[in-house]
Amino acid sequence: MSTVRVLMRGLRWRALDRGFTSVHHVGGCRSLGLGSGTRINSFESVQLSRRSFGSSPTRFAGKSEEESETKEDLGNLEDLEDSSASKANGAQASDGTAAGDSSTVADLEAQLAQKEEEIGKLNDLRIRYLADMENTRMIAKRDVANAHQYGITKFAKSLLEVADNLNRALGAIPAEKLEGGDKYLKELYIGVEMTRKELMRVFRSNEIKEFAAEGDEFDPNVHQALFESEIPGTKEGIIVSITKKGYMINDRVLRAAEVGVSKAVSEESEDKS
């Protein structure tokens, strides 16, 4: 701005020396005023000098030199104006670039937030899938274990009636008959008993166990009470008779034992006794 002032001051002195009354700055355009009140643009001052004062030999004797100097001054002034305009355009461009950069940063932040949200959703899905896979693995493992432990449950139940029939056959032969001289009956009894023992051995090898015996306490989880009986001298809830033996496979009840259970002796029974 100091350079512009110096040039304007020099231009003003030259204009006054050439007959112009004043030099004005109007909206970024320099204008020269004539003494008669006429104002012209500074960029037309050279043409004005040629038109208006070309025939004056006394005042404008060094016309060509002054015109060249005026052209040079106006050229410098135009260069300064162009420089100011370029600076203004550069400032506007920098402002536009800054605004563009800020909008670009905002867009990148929005995209980053969106990607982080997507990553969070994917992590949640990954955790859920891993949990589902772990549950599936545990269920499959449990099913395999159950297949090994309880895969023969149906087959074992079908053999329980065989064991019951063997027990009935052994119980149907009185002990005094066995002590007698009937050789064939005794051999038959021994064969049935050996068959029953072999069946029990097979049961035990497959984790099938027989339970229930007279004198045990009644357990509703593994025993099924068919009747109750008052037996003097026996406390309540004791197994006094077994109709069918109970069986378990591993830790599960394969079949509940069918038993008779003692109950409390009434006062009438005590009086009768």
How do residues 41-84 score in pLDDT, each as one tens digit?
444 443 444 444 444 444 444 445 555 655 565 566 556 556 66
Q: Which of 83, 78, 5, 79 is nearest to 42 (CA)?
A: 78
pLDDT, residue 232, reads 82
Model confidence at 122: pLDDT above 70: yes
Report, in this order, helix, strand and coil percent for the chain, each rounded to 5.
60, 20, 20
pLDDT, residue 22, reads 45
Question: Rounded to an integer, what distance in angstroms lies between the CA atom of residue 171 and that of residue 243?
Answer: 12
Task: Give the residue with greater pLDDT, 81 vs 249.
Answer: 249
Q: Which amino acid is at 239?
A: I
The predicted-structure confidence for 166-219, as pLDDT tens digits, reads as follows 999 998 888 888 777 778 888 899 999 999 999 999 999 999 999 988 889 999
Q: Which of 46, 50, 54, 48 is nearest to 35 (CA)?
A: 48
DSSP 106-147: HHHHHHHHHHHHHHHHHHHHHHHHHHHHHHHHHHHHHHHHHH
